[in-house]
Amino acid sequence: MKTSEIFDVLLTNLKVGGTAASVGARRDEITKSLNKDFRSKDGDTAHKLMVGSYGRHTAIKGVSDLDMIYILPSDIRTDYNSESGPRRMLERVRDDLKARYSNTDIRVDQCVVRVQFTSNAFKFEVQPAFENSDGSFDYPDTAAGSWKVTKPRAEIEATKVCNDRTSTNMRHLARMARAWKNANGVGIGGLLIDTLVHRFFAQTTDYDSAGSGSFDLMVRDFFGFLHQEPDKDFYLALGSSQRVKVKARFQSKAKKAYNRCLEAIAEEGKASANKKWREVFGTSVPLKAVVESARSFDNTEEFVEQKYPIDVQYMLAIDCTVAQNGWRPASLREMLHAKSLLLPNKELDFTIAECDVPGSYDVRWKVLNQGDEAEHRNQIRGQIVEPNRVTGRHERTSFRGEHVVECYVVQDGVVVARDRIDVPISATPGASA
């Protein structure tokens, strides 16, 4: 496939698409419920603003967190100026929405009211706010017991200006960066992604008029820019200059993506190029049709994107303890760092080493066998399965190949963190996970 075809299909597959109608319907119903209380109006859908990635038009298919401001009537502002005002306001909004959605999980979460729709995995975060004369908003913060300022309109405007200057490439790149984040478990938020994309275009004009035939070079240079960024605790958001916290370091995964881009560009036109782009952006990248192998095997691999929405927001790191009778247990990641290969007849215990997902969640694993021997034995595996050791997974090496194990953290029906580890098994004396 041509480069332009690959990226045109990728961007088409990333579009929010049919989800927009459901989002719009939920948004309007929420607004009607609040207008009925705060303005004594039935059926009124005014006084709302979609913010966040959805409001900046940089969201992608599978988006689950939807940020919405409900603009409060200014004449009640003094009623909520006390220290208890922020909580009383959020509880009022919560109670209004509970009356509308009696069977839905609705709760106050510091600065917003969370509305978790289980039927489509949407989570609206409704933020009641008073609009100021400069277009900013005062929003309630229960932790501080006060009202704070947010400037989403400035962020939306900065996105639009950059997008217009770059012939819509700003939003294209922001969406592809989200696909990379979700496919590779990079725990950074949407506002940080858009801020980094904005910073990238601020330091180059090379892609202001680029078409999709040059997107391979654009994403290569973007990941090169990312992996050279210094470690920071925060960035100043595009437009608003408000602090955006860096929840997880992204440089090492950006460097890996940069190297995959180099490999894909070198293999342009080959089926292997599509596979390399898939490693960067996930299953939204199309595969090139190839001649079927004479060997017959069942391709049993499943893809988590086909089972759950993906919206990676948190950090997950997995490791594996390798053990065999008479041998000292060792860390697989340490073995990989030392460029050691596994031998057959090893016991493997895959575990979660680090995870910062708050609250309760479910864990799923994927064990994929790759290579000629996996196909010959008809043991590709690759299904999305539950843990068989608490939250971990026990396996045993049996045959050679470049195998892969992935872990997914699922919360409220959405994959919010993921990680993978390669399991290279030596050909001597014959060796899968």
CATH of the domain at 310: 2.60.40.10
CATH of the domain at 27: 3.30.460.90
Is there a single domain that holds both residue 145 and residue 164?
Answer: no
209 and 143 belong to one structural domain = no
Structure tokens at 367: 């064990």
Residue 83 lies in a domain: yes
Using only the alpha carbons of the chain, give its radius of gyration. 24
pLDDT level of residue 290 (50, 70, 90 thresholds): low
- Sign of the Cα torsion 11, 12, 13, 16 reads positive
Q: Note whether residue 275 is domain-resident.
A: no
Answer whether residue 246 is part of any domain. Answer: yes
Query: For residue 202, with 0-12 CB atoms within 10 Å meaning exposed, 13-18 middle and 19 or more buried, which class applies?
Result: exposed
**Count of domains forming the chain:** 3
Q: Do 130 and 104 share a domain, yes or no?
A: yes
Q: What does the DSSP 8-state code read for residue 315?
A: -
Instruction: Write out pLDDT tens, residues 418-429.
Output: 999 988 877 544
For the residues 21-49, what does the mean pLDDT come to? 96
Residues 6+ apart with CB under 8 A from 122: 22, 23, 26, 64, 66, 116
- Assigned domain for 290 exists: no
Range of the domain at 176: 156-262
132 and 182, same structural domain? no
Are 139 and 181 members of one domain?
no
Which ranges in 185-267 belong to alpha helices (H)?
A: 190-202, 215-227, 251-266
Name the domain boundary from 150, 167, 182. Answer: 150
Residue 308 in contact with residue 208, Cβ under 8 Å?
Answer: no
Confidence of residue 330 (pLDDT cuts 50, 70, 90): confident
Which percentage of the chain shows pLDDT scores above 70? 95
For range 84-111, the mean pLDDT? 97
Q: Does the global pTM surpass 0.85?
A: yes
Cβ(399)–Cβ(431) below 8 Å:
yes
- Determine which helix (DSSP H) or strand (DSSP E) holds 106, and give its type and residue range: strand 105-109
Copy the structure tokens of residue 287: 């595969």
User: Among 107, 133, 150, where does a domain finish?
Assistant: 150
Shared domain check, 26 and 90: yes
Which CA distances in Å does 193 have to 13, 117, 206, 254, 398? 19, 26, 20, 12, 41
The last residue of a domain, from among 150, 185, 207: 150
Residue 430: what pLDDT? 38
Q: Is the bond preceding 429 in cis, omega lying within 30 degrees of 0?
A: yes
Instruction: Say yes or no: 131 and 162 in one domain.
Output: no
Strand pairing category for 316-323 and 401-411: unpaired
Banded pLDDT at 433 (limits 50, 70, 90): low
Q: Say how far apart CA 366 and CA 350 lie, in whole Å.
A: 11
Summarised one tens digit per residue, pLDDT across range 158-215 is: 999 999 999 999 999 999 999 999 999 999 999 999 999 999 999 999 999 999 999 9
Q: What is the pLDDT of residues 245-281, one digit of tens each?
A: 999 999 999 999 999 999 999 999 999 999 999 999 9
307 and 391 share a domain? yes
